[in-house]
Structure 1
Amino acid sequence: MKKTLLLAAMLLTGCASVSDIHTSKADPDCAHSCSANYSECLGKFTLFPIQAQHQCTDALRLCVAACPARGSVAASPVSNPSQRLANLDDLYKRGLISKGEYDAKRAEVLKGL
């Protein structure tokens, strides 16, 4: 009986595996933000933990897929402050950076004017 329950639990949790999500190919800052959001998602209490794990894993998969490729951000720096602010605003609206990160980076861009 114990073996059957253990096997069933392993199969159910394995379905929500993150082994196919390759954060190493994504921009490191974006991938880190996705991973932090995933950890926060998993830490929430729920009555249906397996369903919640699947939802968190799906959200991680989408977040990483939306990240620019590793090196593409540094390879094409944006020097125009208005474009940098627009990009920053877009990252914040997509939930890839926190309000604190947004405010700090915005102040940095404005300071450079």
Structure 2
Amino acid sequence: MSPFLASLLCARVGTDPVEVQSFLSPRLSDFADPSSLPGMSPAVDRVCKAVFGRERIVVYGDYDADGITSVCLLLTFLRDLGVAADYMLPSRFVDGYGLNEARAREIVESGYNLVITVDCGS
């Protein structure tokens, strides 16, 4: 590892060897339990209801790199489950940041039953 990368790593996680190892080679057990997030259980129930009920789902994300990546990951997962999910990515020049009223209206008028937002400050 270059000295520059080593200094970035130390600034990010410190110099504790256990912390460095955990950062460089994370295990699933290193992450917090997602079920501990507030509202996770009802959200999972709602998505399951939509998937099993073959409801129309749209994934709405941000226009930046992590927003597009988030949309792709979730859309791939849903489609692997056999869900005919769609996606929407806003225009930063027209829509601004996040889900706005005009786009929400468009989603409702298009007949979607569930919108899942990713990387929208949500």
How does the TM-score come out when normalised to structure 1?
0.27
Structure that is richer in strand per residue? 2
